[in-house]
């Protein structure tokens, strides 16, 4: 998280006291005694916040504010006012200052304002980074996290599917991030400049579908949990696809749509039209080695939303997270990150209380499942990747009640 403050004040004693307060709060401080001394540090994408006194000899805080906004109109500038300068501070707010504080200001008040300013700055810089990634044509690298082979495979699959105009079926377990993958496909497609419209398929009427398609014209329509779409709307969706070109449909489901179509519980013709390009999102159980990466990302995100510093995550805590099954996948991991940031009791404490043997067993089970997921349920290949004799591997599968066929795609 960005932690740099450019502190500008001509009073050396005040400047030193403020710098000490900020450094004790783990901020990195660049101290300057004048506009001229501060000017060279102000640049586009400056990774932090400016705190400046208003009254200074020569060019004052108003000059600094004006210059900073010319360089980067979204760079937060917090102004410090002396007694009787409140009208000036209000004027500065009208000219784009982030906030102001009356001198001498309490440390708690200064840190509270900085917390909000840094949260705003982080959002701006993240948005700019996302835009740069989009311009480079690879949002998958920024938005789909993980270092595992499964994460690499998912990103590569998205990259291959996105440029086409064909319908896409995104599948995966509940909470795995199906809608996020759908959005990345849209961002990497030729339709990226058009809208990304997301609607739940459950209860969606045929007439409503027609209206939604107009809203998503030249863009992409994501139908979430398409397995729950009413029968009449399924026929309307099929007709719309067959009459194309028009909106591109990206359908998401946690159900086995092929099985539903075979049993007559879903329109088979629509299934085949949606299943032109398929993307499967792996569960966390299939890639436990990605849990630390994803959790740290969610912690940083939650801290930014809460307007507080990003807390450190210990290796012991990450090990406890990897020992869990996470049936809710990324969604439940995100909730755990928010609880962690807010200092709320963690469910992972229960895992830590299980003792070393039980925790190791849970990690071992996760690694077995991950290996099967990587190798499409082929037990012999999974055993080889883990450097285990086949008999030992099968014994472990039996001990944990794991069936290789459940991981075949």
The strand pair at 48-53 and 4-8 is best described as parallel
Beta carbons of 326 and 333 less than 8 angstroms apart: yes
Q: What is the mean pLDDT of residues 139-164?
A: 87
DSSP state of 165: -
Work out whether the CA dihedral 280, 283, 284, 286 comes out positive or negative: negative
- Alpha-carbon span 229 to 241, nearest angstrom: 15
Beta carbons of 130 and 103 less than 8 angstroms apart: no
**Residue in 261, 232, 6, 257 with CA at minimum distance from that of residue 114:** 6
The strand pair at 277-280 and 168-171 is best described as parallel
Q: Which residues, listed in sequence order, are joined to residue 179 by a DSSP beta bridge?
A: none
DSSP state of 111: H
Beta carbons of 125 and 2 less than 8 angstroms apart: yes
Using DSSP, state whether 338 is helix, strand or coil: helix
- Alpha-carbon span 134 to 128, nearest angstrom: 10
Residues 6+ apart with CB under 8 A from 258: 271, 275
Q: What angle do CA 153, 371, 271 make, to 5 degrees?
A: 50
Q: Which range among 186-190, 246-250, 295-299, 363-367 shows the weakest confidence by mean pLDDT? A: 363-367
Q: What is the mean pLDDT of residues 276-281?
A: 96
Beta carbons of 55 and 71 less than 8 angstroms apart: no
Residues 6+ apart with CB under 8 A from 132: none
Q: What is the mean pLDDT of residues 124-142?
A: 66
CATH architecture for residues 4-133 = 3-Layer(aba) Sandwich (3.40)
Q: Which CATH class is domain 139-282?
A: alpha beta
**Residue in 45, 51, 42 with CA at minimum distance from that of residue 5:** 51
**pLDDT tens digits, one per residue of 73-96:** 889 999 988 766 677 777 778 888
Using DSSP, state whether 237 is helix, strand or coil: helix
In percent, the amount of the chain with pLDDT more than 90 equals 38
In percent, the amount of the chain with pLDDT more than 70 equals 89
Q: Which residue has the higher pLDDT, 407 or 286?
A: 286
Would you state the pLDDT for residue 348?
45
pTM flag (> 0.75): no
Residue 403 token pair: 């069936």
Residue 182 token pair: 């759908």
Q: What is the mean pLDDT of residues 216-223?
A: 92
Cis-peptide into 220, omega within 30 deg: no
198 pLDDT exceeds 80?
yes
Q: Which range among 24-28, 320-324, 335-339 shows the weakest confidence by mean pLDDT? A: 320-324
**Residue 98: φ, ψ to 5°:** -70, -45
- Per domain, the residue ranges of the chain are 4-133, 139-282, 285-407
Residue 275 token pair: 């299943």
Q: Which residues, listed in sequence order, are joined to residue 223 by a DSSP beta bridge?
A: 199, 251
- Can you spell out the DSSP letters for 304-354? HHHTSPPPP--HHHHHHHHTS--TTHHHHHHHHHHHHHTTPPPTHHHHHTT
**pLDDT tens digits, one per residue of 316-333:** 788 778 878 888 999 899
Q: What is the mean pLDDT of residues 3-20?
A: 91
Q: Which range among 53-62, 103-112, 358-367, 389-398 shows the weakest confidence by mean pLDDT? A: 358-367
CATH fold match for the domains 4-133 and 139-282: yes
């Amino acid at each position: 998280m960005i932690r740099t403050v450019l502190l500008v004040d001509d009073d050396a004693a005040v400047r030193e006291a403020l710098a000490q307060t900020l450094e004790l709060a783990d901020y990195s401080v660049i101290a300057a005694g004048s506009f001229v001394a501060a000017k060279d540090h102000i640049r586009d994408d400056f990774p932090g916040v400016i705190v400046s006194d208003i009254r200074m000899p020569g060019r004052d805080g108003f000059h600094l504010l004006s210059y900073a906004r010319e360089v980067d109109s979204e760079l937060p500038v917090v102004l410090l006012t002396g007694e009787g300068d409140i009208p000036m501070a209000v004027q500065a707010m009208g000219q784009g200052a982030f906030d102001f504080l009356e001198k001498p200001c309490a440390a708690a008040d200064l840190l509270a304002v900085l917390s909000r300013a840094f949260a705003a700055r982080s959002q701006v810089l993240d948005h700019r980074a996302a835009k740069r990634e989009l311009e480079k044509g690879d949002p998958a690298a920024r938005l789909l996290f993980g270092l595992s082979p499964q994460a690499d495979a998912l990103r590569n699959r998205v990259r291959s599917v996105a440029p086409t105009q064909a319908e896409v079926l995104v599948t995966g377990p509940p909470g795995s991030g199906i809608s996020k993958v759908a959005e990345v496909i849209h961002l990497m497609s030729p339709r990226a400049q058009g809208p990304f419209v997301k609607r739940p398929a459950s209860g969606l009427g045929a007439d409503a579908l027609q209206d939604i398609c107009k809203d998503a014209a030249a863009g992409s329509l994501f139908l979430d949990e398409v397995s729950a779409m009413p029968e009449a709307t399924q026929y309307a969706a099929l007709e719309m696809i067959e009459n194309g070109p028009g909106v591109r449909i990206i359908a998401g489901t946690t159900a086995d749509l092929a099985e539903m179509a075979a049993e007559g519980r879903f329109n088979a013709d629509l299934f085949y039209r949606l299943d032109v390009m398929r993307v499967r999102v792996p569960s966390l159980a299939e890639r436990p080695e990605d849990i630390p990466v994803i959790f740290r990302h969610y912690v940083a995100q939650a801290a930014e939303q809460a307007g507080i510093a990003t807390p450190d995550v210990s290796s012991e805590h990450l090990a406890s997270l990897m020992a869990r099954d996470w049936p809710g996948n990324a969604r439940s991991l995100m909730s755990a990150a928010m609880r962690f940031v807010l200092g709320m009791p963690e469910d992972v404490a229960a895992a830590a209380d299980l003792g070393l043997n039980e925790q190791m067993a849970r990690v071992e089970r996760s690694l077995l499942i991950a290996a099967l997921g990587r190798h499409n349920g082929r037990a012999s290949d999974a055993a080889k990747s883990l450097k285990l004799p086949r008999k030992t591997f099968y014994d472990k599968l039996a001990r944990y009640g794991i069936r290789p066929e459940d991981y075949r795609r």
